[in-house]
Chain A
Protein backbone atom coordinates (compact mmCIF):
# COMPACT_ATOMS: atom_id res chain seq x y z
CA UNK A 1 0.00 0.00 0.00
CA UNK A 2 2.94 2.34 0.62
CA UNK A 3 3.86 1.55 -3.00
CA UNK A 4 0.46 2.94 -4.01
CA UNK A 5 1.19 6.22 -2.26
CA UNK A 6 4.61 6.40 -3.91
CA UNK A 7 2.87 6.00 -7.28
CA UNK A 8 0.52 8.86 -6.37
CA UNK A 9 -2.55 6.60 -6.03
CA UNK A 10 -5.30 7.45 -3.58
CA UNK A 11 -7.59 4.49 -2.94
CA UNK A 12 -10.98 5.12 -1.34
CA UNK A 13 -13.66 2.67 -0.21
CA UNK A 14 -14.02 -0.94 -1.32
CA UNK A 15 -13.54 -4.08 0.75
CA UNK A 16 -10.76 -2.48 2.78
CA UNK A 17 -12.47 0.89 3.23
CA UNK A 18 -13.52 2.19 6.63
CA UNK A 19 -17.22 1.52 6.02
CA UNK A 20 -16.46 -2.10 5.15
CA UNK A 21 -14.23 -2.44 8.20
CA UNK A 22 -16.95 -1.07 10.47
CA UNK A 23 -19.58 -3.40 8.97
CA UNK A 24 -17.18 -6.37 9.30
CA UNK A 25 -16.43 -5.51 12.90
CA UNK A 26 -20.15 -5.22 13.67
CA UNK A 27 -20.74 -8.67 12.15
CA UNK A 28 -17.83 -10.20 14.08
CA UNK A 29 -18.94 -8.70 17.41
CA UNK A 30 -22.56 -9.79 16.83
CA UNK A 31 -21.49 -13.37 16.03
CA UNK A 32 -19.33 -13.58 19.16
CA UNK A 33 -22.12 -12.18 21.35
CA UNK A 34 -24.55 -14.65 19.83
CA UNK A 35 -22.11 -17.47 20.70
CA UNK A 36 -21.80 -16.19 24.27
CA UNK A 37 -25.62 -16.01 24.60
CA UNK A 38 -25.97 -19.62 23.41
CA UNK A 39 -23.39 -20.76 25.95
CA UNK A 40 -25.27 -18.88 28.69
CA UNK A 41 -28.36 -20.89 27.77
CA UNK A 42 -26.29 -24.09 27.83
CA UNK A 43 -25.10 -23.07 31.31
CA UNK A 44 -28.72 -22.63 32.48
CA UNK A 45 -29.73 -26.03 31.04
CA UNK A 46 -26.76 -27.62 32.81
CA UNK A 47 -28.02 -25.88 35.98
CA UNK A 48 -31.37 -27.63 35.66
CA UNK A 49 -29.55 -30.99 35.36
CA UNK A 50 -27.34 -30.13 38.33
CA UNK A 51 -30.34 -29.25 40.56
CA UNK A 52 -32.15 -32.48 39.64
CA UNK A 53 -29.07 -34.59 40.37
CA UNK A 54 -28.59 -32.64 43.60
CA UNK A 55 -32.14 -33.52 44.60
CA UNK A 56 -31.59 -37.19 43.73
CA UNK A 57 -28.29 -37.25 45.64
CA UNK A 58 -29.35 -35.49 48.82
CA UNK A 59 -32.75 -37.05 49.45
CA UNK A 60 -32.83 -39.01 52.68
CA UNK A 61 -32.59 -42.56 51.52
CA UNK A 62 -32.19 -45.91 52.98
CA UNK A 63 -31.53 -49.33 51.62
CA UNK A 64 -32.00 -49.84 47.87
CA UNK A 65 -31.82 -46.08 46.88
CA UNK A 66 -28.38 -45.57 48.37
CA UNK A 67 -26.36 -46.64 45.26
CA UNK A 68 -28.62 -44.46 43.03
CA UNK A 69 -28.02 -41.44 45.26
CA UNK A 70 -24.29 -41.99 45.20
CA UNK A 71 -24.32 -42.15 41.40
CA UNK A 72 -26.38 -38.95 41.26
CA UNK A 73 -23.88 -37.13 43.49
CA UNK A 74 -20.97 -38.25 41.29
CA UNK A 75 -22.83 -37.18 38.15
CA UNK A 76 -23.65 -33.82 39.78
CA UNK A 77 -19.93 -33.17 40.41
CA UNK A 78 -19.11 -33.84 36.76
CA UNK A 79 -21.95 -31.58 35.58
CA UNK A 80 -20.74 -28.86 37.94
CA UNK A 81 -17.25 -28.98 36.42
CA UNK A 82 -18.55 -28.81 32.84
CA UNK A 83 -20.93 -26.02 33.83
CA UNK A 84 -18.84 -23.70 36.01
CA UNK A 85 -15.31 -25.12 36.17
CA UNK A 86 -12.25 -23.11 35.07
CA UNK A 87 -12.66 -24.41 31.51
CA UNK A 88 -16.41 -24.84 31.71
CA UNK A 89 -19.23 -23.46 29.61
CA UNK A 90 -19.58 -20.31 31.74
CA UNK A 91 -15.88 -19.49 31.46
CA UNK A 92 -16.02 -19.95 27.70
CA UNK A 93 -19.11 -17.72 27.47
CA UNK A 94 -17.27 -14.96 29.37
CA UNK A 95 -14.26 -15.37 27.11
CA UNK A 96 -16.45 -14.94 24.01
CA UNK A 97 -18.05 -11.83 25.54
CA UNK A 98 -14.59 -10.37 26.18
CA UNK A 99 -13.60 -11.04 22.57
CA UNK A 100 -16.80 -9.32 21.41
CA UNK A 101 -15.94 -6.33 23.65
CA UNK A 102 -12.47 -6.13 22.08
CA UNK A 103 -13.95 -6.13 18.59
CA UNK A 104 -16.56 -3.51 19.58
CA UNK A 105 -13.81 -1.38 21.08
CA UNK A 106 -11.81 -1.56 17.84
CA UNK A 107 -14.97 -0.56 15.96
CA UNK A 108 -15.43 2.41 18.28
CA UNK A 109 -11.87 3.58 17.64
CA UNK A 110 -12.38 3.37 13.87
CA UNK A 111 -15.64 5.32 14.11
CA UNK A 112 -14.08 7.89 16.43
CA UNK A 113 -11.24 8.48 13.99
CA UNK A 114 -13.75 8.99 11.16
CA UNK A 115 -15.82 11.37 13.28
CA UNK A 116 -12.72 13.37 14.19
CA UNK A 117 -11.81 13.68 10.53
CA UNK A 118 -15.35 14.92 9.76
CA UNK A 119 -15.18 17.49 12.54
CA UNK A 120 -11.87 18.77 11.23
CA UNK A 121 -13.38 19.27 7.78
CA UNK A 122 -16.38 21.08 9.23
CA UNK A 123 -14.18 23.39 11.28
CA UNK A 124 -12.20 24.31 8.18
CA UNK A 125 -15.39 25.22 6.30
CA UNK A 126 -16.16 28.71 7.68
CA UNK A 127 -12.67 30.14 7.20
CA UNK A 128 -13.06 33.66 5.76
CA UNK A 129 -10.49 35.76 3.95
CA UNK A 130 -12.09 39.24 3.64
CA UNK A 131 -12.57 41.45 0.66
CA UNK A 132 -11.10 39.64 -2.35
CA UNK A 133 -13.87 37.88 -4.25
CA UNK A 134 -17.60 38.25 -4.85
CA UNK A 135 -19.36 35.20 -6.25
CA UNK A 136 -22.24 35.08 -3.84
CA UNK A 137 -24.75 34.38 -6.62
CA UNK A 138 -23.12 30.96 -7.00
CA UNK A 139 -23.15 30.35 -3.28
CA UNK A 140 -19.37 30.65 -3.02
CA UNK A 141 -17.75 32.12 0.03
CA UNK A 142 -14.86 34.52 -0.22
CA UNK A 143 -12.40 31.80 0.68
CA UNK A 144 -13.78 29.67 -2.16
CA UNK A 145 -13.16 32.52 -4.55
CA UNK A 146 -9.58 32.91 -3.43
CA UNK A 147 -9.12 29.17 -3.76
CA UNK A 148 -10.60 29.23 -7.27
CA UNK A 149 -8.19 31.94 -8.37
CA UNK A 150 -5.29 30.08 -6.86
CA UNK A 151 -6.26 26.77 -8.46
CA UNK A 152 -6.67 28.33 -11.90
CA UNK A 153 -3.31 30.06 -11.56
CA UNK A 154 -1.72 26.76 -10.58
CA UNK A 155 -3.31 25.02 -13.57
CA UNK A 156 -2.12 27.77 -15.87
CA UNK A 157 1.41 27.15 -14.63
CA UNK A 158 1.16 23.45 -15.42
CA UNK A 159 -0.26 22.12 -12.15
CA UNK A 160 -3.32 19.94 -11.61
CA UNK A 161 -6.83 21.09 -10.88
CA UNK A 162 -7.67 18.78 -8.00
CA UNK A 163 -10.87 16.84 -8.42
CA UNK A 164 -12.08 17.69 -4.92
CA UNK A 165 -12.14 21.39 -5.79
CA UNK A 166 -14.01 20.70 -9.04
CA UNK A 167 -16.58 18.62 -7.16
CA UNK A 168 -17.20 21.53 -4.83
CA UNK A 169 -17.67 23.94 -7.73
CA UNK A 170 -20.10 21.59 -9.50
CA UNK A 171 -22.08 21.06 -6.33
CA UNK A 172 -22.36 24.79 -5.65
CA UNK A 173 -23.42 25.54 -9.23
CA UNK A 174 -26.00 22.76 -9.07
CA UNK A 175 -27.49 24.18 -5.87
CA UNK A 176 -28.34 27.53 -7.41
CA UNK A 177 -29.61 26.16 -10.71
CA UNK A 178 -33.20 27.28 -11.36
CA UNK A 179 -33.87 23.84 -12.86
CA UNK A 180 -32.92 22.10 -9.66
CA UNK A 181 -34.09 24.59 -7.14
CA UNK A 182 -37.22 26.53 -8.04
CA UNK A 183 -37.89 28.84 -5.15
CA UNK A 184 -35.90 28.07 -2.06
CA UNK A 185 -36.21 24.31 -1.92
CA UNK A 186 -33.29 22.80 0.00
CA UNK A 187 -31.41 20.19 -2.00
CA UNK A 188 -29.64 18.29 0.74
CA UNK A 189 -26.09 17.23 0.02
CA UNK A 190 -26.63 15.66 -3.40
CA UNK A 191 -27.85 18.40 -5.72
CA UNK A 192 -26.48 17.20 -9.06
CA UNK A 193 -29.11 14.49 -9.75
CA UNK A 194 -31.83 17.13 -9.36
CA UNK A 195 -30.19 19.38 -11.91
CA UNK A 196 -29.38 16.59 -14.35
CA UNK A 197 -32.86 15.16 -14.13
CA UNK A 198 -34.40 18.58 -14.72
CA UNK A 199 -32.17 19.28 -17.71
CA UNK A 200 -32.86 15.81 -19.14
CA UNK A 201 -36.56 16.62 -19.03
CA UNK A 202 -35.93 19.80 -20.98
CA UNK A 203 -33.62 18.13 -23.51
CA UNK A 204 -35.69 15.11 -24.44
CA UNK A 205 -39.17 14.64 -25.81
CA UNK A 206 -41.63 13.16 -23.32
CA UNK A 207 -42.45 9.47 -23.47
CA UNK A 208 -40.33 6.38 -24.18
CA UNK A 209 -37.92 6.49 -27.10
CA UNK A 210 -37.31 3.34 -29.07
CA UNK A 211 -33.74 2.07 -29.17
CA UNK A 212 -32.11 -0.97 -30.74
CA UNK A 213 -28.78 -2.74 -31.07
CA UNK A 214 -27.64 -4.28 -34.33
CA UNK A 215 -24.69 -6.67 -34.67
CA UNK A 216 -21.89 -5.14 -36.73
CA UNK A 217 -21.29 -7.37 -39.74
CA UNK A 218 -17.74 -8.70 -39.83
CA UNK A 219 -16.95 -7.67 -36.27
CA UNK A 220 -16.77 -11.20 -34.85
CA UNK A 221 -13.25 -12.06 -33.73
CA UNK A 222 -11.48 -14.39 -31.36
CA UNK A 223 -10.53 -12.70 -28.12
CA UNK A 224 -8.40 -13.60 -25.16
CA UNK A 225 -10.12 -13.09 -21.82
CA UNK A 226 -9.17 -9.91 -19.95
CA UNK A 227 -6.80 -10.85 -17.15
CA UNK A 228 -6.39 -7.50 -15.42
CA UNK A 229 -7.66 -3.93 -15.25
CA UNK A 230 -5.30 -2.86 -18.02
CA UNK A 231 -6.87 -5.38 -20.42
CA UNK A 232 -10.36 -4.06 -19.64
CA UNK A 233 -9.31 -0.42 -20.16
CA UNK A 234 -7.49 -1.37 -23.37
CA UNK A 235 -10.74 -2.90 -24.66
CA UNK A 236 -12.42 0.46 -24.03
CA UNK A 237 -9.62 2.27 -25.86
CA UNK A 238 -10.50 0.31 -28.98
CA UNK A 239 -14.05 1.71 -28.87
CA UNK A 240 -13.16 5.40 -28.92
CA UNK A 241 -12.84 7.23 -32.20
CA UNK A 242 -15.01 7.49 -35.26
CA UNK A 243 -16.92 4.23 -34.83
CA UNK A 244 -19.90 5.91 -33.15
CA UNK A 245 -22.05 4.24 -30.53
CA UNK A 246 -20.64 0.71 -30.61
CA UNK A 247 -20.35 -1.67 -27.68
CA UNK A 248 -18.30 -4.85 -27.71
CA UNK A 249 -19.52 -8.01 -26.01
CA UNK A 250 -17.11 -10.87 -25.34
CA UNK A 251 -18.39 -14.37 -24.66
CA UNK A 252 -16.09 -16.63 -22.64
CA UNK A 253 -17.24 -20.28 -22.66
CA UNK A 254 -17.04 -22.19 -19.37
CA UNK A 255 -16.52 -25.87 -18.76
CA UNK A 256 -20.14 -26.37 -17.63
CA UNK A 257 -21.51 -25.22 -20.98
CA UNK A 258 -22.52 -21.74 -19.80
CA UNK A 259 -20.57 -18.59 -20.53
CA UNK A 260 -19.11 -15.59 -18.77
CA UNK A 261 -19.50 -12.23 -20.50
CA UNK A 262 -17.61 -8.96 -20.67
CA UNK A 263 -19.41 -5.88 -21.97
CA UNK A 264 -17.28 -2.86 -22.96
CA UNK A 265 -19.22 0.42 -23.18
CA UNK A 266 -17.64 3.60 -24.58
CA UNK A 267 -18.28 7.15 -23.42
CA UNK A 268 -20.37 9.92 -24.94
CA UNK A 269 -20.13 9.85 -28.74
CA UNK A 270 -22.44 12.76 -29.57
CA UNK A 271 -22.41 15.94 -27.46
CA UNK A 272 -25.77 17.11 -28.78
CA UNK A 273 -29.34 15.93 -28.25
CA UNK A 274 -32.03 14.62 -30.55
CA UNK A 275 -30.02 12.49 -32.94
CA UNK A 276 -29.93 8.73 -33.43
CA UNK A 277 -26.86 8.11 -31.26
CA UNK A 278 -28.10 7.12 -27.79
CA UNK A 279 -24.66 7.71 -26.25
CA UNK A 280 -25.34 11.45 -26.34
CA UNK A 281 -25.69 14.38 -23.97
CA UNK A 282 -29.35 13.64 -23.26
CA UNK A 283 -28.46 10.15 -22.03
CA UNK A 284 -25.75 11.67 -19.82
CA UNK A 285 -28.33 13.91 -18.18
CA UNK A 286 -30.84 11.08 -17.84
CA UNK A 287 -28.32 8.78 -16.17
CA UNK A 288 -27.01 11.44 -13.83
CA UNK A 289 -30.58 12.36 -12.98
CA UNK A 290 -31.37 8.82 -11.95
CA UNK A 291 -33.54 8.06 -15.00
CA UNK A 292 -32.96 4.95 -17.12
CA UNK A 293 -30.95 6.46 -19.96
CA UNK A 294 -31.62 5.70 -23.62
CA UNK A 295 -28.01 4.50 -23.82
CA UNK A 296 -28.66 2.08 -20.94
CA UNK A 297 -31.71 0.63 -22.72
CA UNK A 298 -29.69 0.33 -25.94
CA UNK A 299 -26.86 -1.57 -24.19
CA UNK A 300 -29.46 -3.84 -22.59
CA UNK A 301 -30.79 -4.49 -26.10
CA UNK A 302 -27.25 -5.40 -27.23
CA UNK A 303 -26.86 -7.79 -24.27
CA UNK A 304 -30.15 -9.46 -25.18
CA UNK A 305 -29.08 -9.72 -28.83
CA UNK A 306 -25.80 -11.33 -27.78
CA UNK A 307 -27.76 -14.03 -25.94
CA UNK A 308 -26.53 -13.37 -22.42
CA UNK A 309 -28.48 -15.63 -20.06
CA UNK A 310 -30.05 -14.19 -16.93
CA UNK A 311 -27.87 -16.32 -14.66
CA UNK A 312 -24.59 -16.06 -16.58
CA UNK A 313 -21.92 -13.92 -14.87
CA UNK A 314 -21.31 -10.54 -16.48
CA UNK A 315 -18.52 -7.99 -16.01
CA UNK A 316 -19.32 -4.47 -17.26
CA UNK A 317 -16.61 -1.96 -18.15
CA UNK A 318 -17.49 1.58 -19.14
CA UNK A 319 -15.66 4.78 -19.96
CA UNK A 320 -17.24 8.10 -19.01
CA UNK A 321 -20.97 7.81 -19.81
CA UNK A 322 -20.31 4.08 -20.33
CA UNK A 323 -19.53 3.86 -16.61
CA UNK A 324 -22.88 5.47 -15.76
CA UNK A 325 -24.60 2.98 -18.07
CA UNK A 326 -22.75 0.06 -16.47
CA UNK A 327 -23.79 1.21 -12.98
CA UNK A 328 -27.41 1.55 -14.11
CA UNK A 329 -27.49 -1.93 -15.68
CA UNK A 330 -26.02 -3.47 -12.51
CA UNK A 331 -28.68 -1.70 -10.43
CA UNK A 332 -31.59 -2.56 -12.73
CA UNK A 333 -31.13 -6.33 -12.37
CA UNK A 334 -32.17 -8.80 -15.06
CA UNK A 335 -28.58 -9.88 -15.63
CA UNK A 336 -26.14 -11.46 -13.19
CA UNK A 337 -23.75 -8.51 -13.22
CA UNK A 338 -21.02 -9.38 -10.73
CA UNK A 339 -18.54 -6.54 -11.15
CA UNK A 340 -18.30 -3.12 -12.77
CA UNK A 341 -15.31 -1.05 -13.91
CA UNK A 342 -15.89 2.66 -14.47
CA UNK A 343 -13.20 4.82 -16.07
CA UNK A 344 -13.45 8.59 -15.75
CA UNK A 345 -17.17 8.44 -14.88
CA UNK A 346 -19.14 10.78 -12.58
CA UNK A 347 -20.63 7.98 -10.51
CA UNK A 348 -20.45 9.50 -7.03
CA UNK A 349 -24.04 10.73 -6.71
CA UNK A 350 -26.88 8.81 -5.12
CA UNK A 351 -28.42 8.31 -8.59
CA UNK A 352 -25.56 6.04 -9.66
CA UNK A 353 -24.75 4.29 -6.38
CA UNK A 354 -22.77 1.05 -6.70
CA UNK A 355 -24.85 -2.10 -6.24
CA UNK A 356 -22.11 -4.63 -7.06
CA UNK A 357 -18.32 -4.57 -6.51
CA UNK A 358 -17.23 -1.57 -8.55
CA UNK A 359 -13.76 -0.24 -9.33
CA UNK A 360 -13.71 3.44 -10.37
CA UNK A 361 -10.61 5.00 -11.92
CA UNK A 362 -10.28 8.79 -11.81
CA UNK A 363 -7.52 11.14 -12.90
CA UNK A 364 -7.02 14.11 -10.60
CA UNK A 365 -7.02 16.42 -13.62
CA UNK A 366 -10.07 14.82 -15.29
CA UNK A 367 -13.08 17.12 -14.87
CA UNK A 368 -15.68 14.52 -15.90
CA UNK A 369 -15.62 12.38 -12.72
CA UNK A 370 -16.05 15.61 -10.75
CA UNK A 371 -19.35 16.39 -12.50
CA UNK A 372 -21.22 14.41 -9.86
CA UNK A 373 -20.36 17.15 -7.38
CA UNK A 374 -19.35 14.58 -4.78
CA UNK A 375 -16.08 13.43 -3.34
CA UNK A 376 -15.60 9.65 -3.58
CA UNK A 377 -17.29 8.09 -0.59
CA UNK A 378 -16.04 5.28 1.59
CA UNK A 379 -18.44 2.73 0.14
CA UNK A 380 -17.69 -0.97 0.66
CA UNK A 381 -19.08 -1.74 -2.81
CA UNK A 382 -17.06 0.90 -4.66
CA UNK A 383 -13.28 1.18 -4.70
CA UNK A 384 -12.21 4.51 -6.13
CA UNK A 385 -8.61 4.88 -7.30
CA UNK A 386 -7.47 8.42 -7.93
CA UNK A 387 -4.16 8.98 -9.63
CA UNK A 388 -2.32 11.46 -11.80
CA UNK A 389 -2.62 11.44 -15.55
CA UNK A 390 0.63 11.22 -17.53
CA UNK A 391 2.48 14.54 -17.21
CA UNK A 392 1.93 15.57 -20.84
CA UNK A 393 -1.85 14.99 -20.50
CA UNK A 394 -2.49 16.89 -17.27
CA UNK A 395 -3.16 20.29 -18.86
CA UNK A 396 -5.51 18.88 -21.47
CA UNK A 397 -9.10 18.24 -20.41
CA UNK A 398 -9.61 15.80 -23.28
CA UNK A 399 -6.41 13.85 -22.73
CA UNK A 400 -6.92 13.75 -18.97
CA UNK A 401 -10.21 12.02 -19.80
CA UNK A 402 -8.81 9.76 -22.53
CA UNK A 403 -8.82 5.98 -22.28
CA UNK A 404 -5.22 5.71 -23.52
CA UNK A 405 -4.09 7.85 -20.61
CA UNK A 406 -6.28 5.85 -18.22
CA UNK A 407 -4.57 2.65 -19.41
CA UNK A 408 -1.42 3.89 -17.64
CA UNK A 409 -3.37 4.36 -14.40
CA UNK A 410 -4.78 0.86 -14.91
CA UNK A 411 -1.24 -0.54 -15.04
CA UNK A 412 -0.51 1.11 -11.70
CA UNK A 413 -3.72 -0.35 -10.27
CA UNK A 414 -2.68 -3.80 -11.48
CA UNK A 415 0.59 -3.36 -9.58
CA UNK A 416 -1.25 -2.41 -6.38
CA UNK A 417 -1.60 -4.86 -3.50
CA UNK A 418 -4.24 -2.77 -1.70
CA UNK A 419 -6.89 -5.05 -0.17
CA UNK A 420 -9.81 -3.23 -1.81
CA UNK A 421 -8.25 -3.49 -5.27
CA UNK A 422 -7.24 -7.11 -4.69
CA UNK A 423 -10.78 -7.97 -3.57
CA UNK A 424 -12.25 -6.49 -6.78
CA UNK A 425 -9.69 -8.35 -8.92
CA UNK A 426 -10.53 -11.63 -7.18
CA UNK A 427 -14.23 -11.02 -7.81
CA UNK A 428 -13.60 -10.54 -11.54
CA UNK A 429 -11.30 -13.60 -11.71
CA UNK A 430 -14.02 -15.69 -10.10
CA UNK A 431 -16.66 -14.38 -12.52
CA UNK A 432 -14.60 -14.94 -15.66
CA UNK A 433 -13.10 -18.31 -14.71
CA UNK A 434 -9.96 -19.51 -16.44
CA UNK A 435 -11.11 -19.96 -20.02
CA UNK A 436 -8.49 -19.67 -22.73
CA UNK A 437 -10.29 -17.87 -25.52
CA UNK A 438 -13.64 -16.37 -26.36
CA UNK A 439 -15.46 -14.50 -29.06
CA UNK A 440 -16.00 -10.76 -29.28
CA UNK A 441 -18.73 -9.14 -31.32
CA UNK A 442 -19.61 -5.47 -31.77
CA UNK A 443 -23.13 -4.03 -31.65
CA UNK A 444 -24.15 -0.62 -32.96
CA UNK A 445 -26.60 1.25 -30.74
CA UNK A 446 -29.34 3.34 -32.31
CA UNK A 447 -32.15 5.57 -31.16
CA UNK A 448 -34.92 5.44 -33.74
CA UNK A 449 -35.69 8.87 -35.17
CA UNK A 450 -39.32 8.00 -35.79
CA UNK A 451 -39.99 7.70 -32.10
CA UNK A 452 -39.03 11.28 -31.36
Chain B
Protein backbone atom coordinates (compact mmCIF):
# COMPACT_ATOMS: atom_id res chain seq x y z
CA UNK B 1 0.00 0.00 0.00
CA UNK B 2 1.33 3.44 -0.85
CA UNK B 3 1.84 5.88 2.01
CA UNK B 4 -0.77 8.20 0.46
CA UNK B 5 -3.41 5.58 1.36
CA UNK B 6 -2.04 4.77 4.81
CA UNK B 7 -1.20 6.15 8.24
CA UNK B 8 2.28 7.72 8.19
CA UNK B 9 4.61 7.35 11.26
CA UNK B 10 6.77 10.33 12.17
CA UNK B 11 10.57 10.26 12.37
CA UNK B 12 12.88 12.78 14.03
CA UNK B 13 14.56 15.80 12.39
CA UNK B 14 13.96 17.10 8.91
CA UNK B 15 12.71 13.69 7.76
CA UNK B 16 10.08 14.01 10.52
CA UNK B 17 8.93 17.26 8.90
CA UNK B 18 8.69 15.34 5.62
CA UNK B 19 6.56 12.73 7.42
CA UNK B 20 4.24 15.60 8.42
CA UNK B 21 4.00 16.62 4.77
CA UNK B 22 3.12 13.05 3.84
CA UNK B 23 0.49 12.87 6.58
CA UNK B 24 -1.20 16.06 5.36
CA UNK B 25 -1.10 14.93 1.72
CA UNK B 26 -2.58 11.56 2.76
CA UNK B 27 -5.36 13.49 4.59
CA UNK B 28 -6.02 15.46 1.40
CA UNK B 29 -6.22 12.23 -0.60
CA UNK B 30 -8.69 10.82 1.92
CA UNK B 31 -10.81 13.98 1.62
CA UNK B 32 -10.82 13.64 -2.17
CA UNK B 33 -11.89 10.00 -1.94
CA UNK B 34 -14.70 11.15 0.38
CA UNK B 35 -15.65 13.78 -2.18
CA UNK B 36 -15.90 11.00 -4.77
CA UNK B 37 -18.09 8.85 -2.55
CA UNK B 38 -20.68 11.58 -1.93
CA UNK B 39 -23.81 10.42 -3.71
CA UNK B 40 -24.38 13.47 -5.84
CA UNK B 41 -27.33 12.66 -8.08
CA UNK B 42 -27.26 15.22 -10.85
CA UNK B 43 -26.72 15.64 -14.55
CA UNK B 44 -23.53 17.51 -13.56
CA UNK B 45 -22.26 14.62 -11.44
CA UNK B 46 -20.09 13.14 -14.21
CA UNK B 47 -18.22 16.42 -14.71
CA UNK B 48 -17.74 16.82 -10.97
CA UNK B 49 -16.45 13.27 -10.64
CA UNK B 50 -13.99 13.76 -13.53
CA UNK B 51 -12.69 16.94 -11.88
CA UNK B 52 -12.16 15.31 -8.48
CA UNK B 53 -10.48 12.29 -10.12
CA UNK B 54 -8.13 14.68 -11.93
CA UNK B 55 -7.30 16.33 -8.56
CA UNK B 56 -6.59 12.91 -7.12
CA UNK B 57 -4.28 12.02 -10.03
CA UNK B 58 -2.34 15.27 -9.54
CA UNK B 59 -2.08 14.61 -5.83
CA UNK B 60 -0.67 11.14 -6.49
CA UNK B 61 1.92 12.64 -8.85
CA UNK B 62 2.87 15.10 -6.05
CA UNK B 63 3.32 12.08 -3.80
CA UNK B 64 5.97 10.76 -6.18
CA UNK B 65 7.75 14.15 -6.05
CA UNK B 66 7.60 14.09 -2.24
CA UNK B 67 9.19 10.64 -2.29
CA UNK B 68 12.00 12.08 -4.43
CA UNK B 69 12.53 14.77 -1.78
CA UNK B 70 13.32 12.06 0.75
CA UNK B 71 16.67 11.19 -0.85
CA UNK B 72 17.63 14.87 -1.24
CA UNK B 73 16.87 15.67 2.40
CA UNK B 74 18.55 12.49 3.61
CA UNK B 75 21.69 13.36 1.59
CA UNK B 76 21.72 16.91 2.95
CA UNK B 77 21.26 15.69 6.53
CA UNK B 78 23.92 12.98 6.13
CA UNK B 79 26.42 15.40 4.61
CA UNK B 80 25.81 17.91 7.41
CA UNK B 81 26.04 15.27 10.13
CA UNK B 82 29.30 13.95 8.69
CA UNK B 83 30.93 17.27 9.49
CA UNK B 84 30.96 17.80 13.23
CA UNK B 85 29.89 21.34 14.20
CA UNK B 86 32.99 21.81 16.35
CA UNK B 87 35.13 21.47 13.22
CA UNK B 88 33.27 24.41 11.64
CA UNK B 89 32.83 26.86 14.46
User: A residues near B, CB below 8 A?
Assistant: 15-16, 20-21, 24-25, 27-28, 31-32, 34-36, 38-39, 41-42, 45-46, 48-49, 52-53, 56, 61-65, 67-68, 71-72, 74-75, 78-79, 81-82, 87-89, 92, 95-96, 99, 103, 106, 419-420, 423
**B41 x A24 contact (CB < 8 A):** yes
B 1-37 contacts with A by CB, 8 A: 14, 17-18, 20-21, 24-25, 27-29, 31-32, 34-35
* Bound Cα distance from A38 to B29, whole angstroms: 9
CB distance from B59 to the nearest CB of A (A): 6
In the complex, which residues of chain A have a beta carbon less than 8 angstroms from the beta carbon of B17?
45, 48-49, 52
* Bound Cα distance from A72 to B76, whole angstroms: 5
CB distance from B45 to the nearest CB of A (A): 9
Across the interface, A31 reaches (CB within 8 A) one of B34, B61, B68, namely B34
Q: Mark B41-78, 1 if CB is under 8 A from A, else 0.
A: 11010001001100100110110011011001101100
In the complex, which residues of chain A have a beta carbon less than 8 angstroms from the beta carbon of B52?
32, 99
Across the interface, B31 reaches (CB within 8 A) one of A32, A62, A87, namely A32
Across the interface, B24 reaches (CB within 8 A) one of A38, A68, A423, namely A38
CB distance from B73 to the nearest CB of A (A): 6
**B14 x A52 contact (CB < 8 A):** yes
Across the interface, A89 reaches (CB within 8 A) one of B14, B62, B79, B88, namely B62
**A42 x B28 contact (CB < 8 A):** yes
Chain B interface size band reads 35 or more
Interface majority SS (helix, strand, loop, mixed), chain B: helix
* Bound Cα distance from A28 to B83, whole angstroms: 51
**B41 x A20 contact (CB < 8 A):** yes
A31-B32, A49-B14, A78-B69 as given contacts; A71 in contact with B76, CB under 8 Å: yes
Across the interface, A24 reaches (CB within 8 A) one of B38, B51, B76, namely B38
Across the interface, B58 reaches (CB within 8 A) one of A63, A74, A87, namely A87
* Bound Cα distance from A103 to B49, whole angstroms: 12
CB distance from A21 to the nearest CB of B (A): 6
Q: Which of A28, A71, A420 has the most CB of B within 10 A?
A: A28
20 A-B contact pairs sorted by A residue (CB < 8 Å): A15-B41, A16-B41, A24-B38, A27-B34, A28-B40, A32-B32, A34-B34, A35-B31, A35-B55, A42-B20, A49-B21, A52-B17, A65-B83, A65-B88, A71-B76, A71-B79, A75-B72, A92-B55, A99-B51, A99-B52
Across the interface, B25 reaches (CB within 8 A) one of A38, A52, A65, namely A38
**B76 x A53 contact (CB < 8 A):** yes
Q: Which of B21, B32, B75 has the most CB of A within 10 A?
A: B21
Across the interface, B39 reaches (CB within 8 A) one of A24, A61, A65, namely A24
In the complex, which residues of chain B have a beta carbon less than 8 angstroms from the beta carbon of A45?
17-18, 20-21, 24
* Bound Cα distance from A117 to B29, whole angstroms: 39
Known: A34-B27, A423-B41. 20 other contacts (CB 8 A): A15-B41, A21-B41, A24-B41, A28-B35, A28-B40, A28-B48, A32-B35, A35-B29, A35-B55, A42-B21, A49-B21, A52-B17, A56-B80, A67-B79, A68-B76, A71-B75, A75-B69, A79-B73, A99-B51, A106-B44
* Bound Cα distance from A315 to B55, whole angstroms: 40
**A82 x B76 contact (CB < 8 A):** no
Look across to chain A and name the residue whose beta carbon is closest to the beta carbon of B49: A28
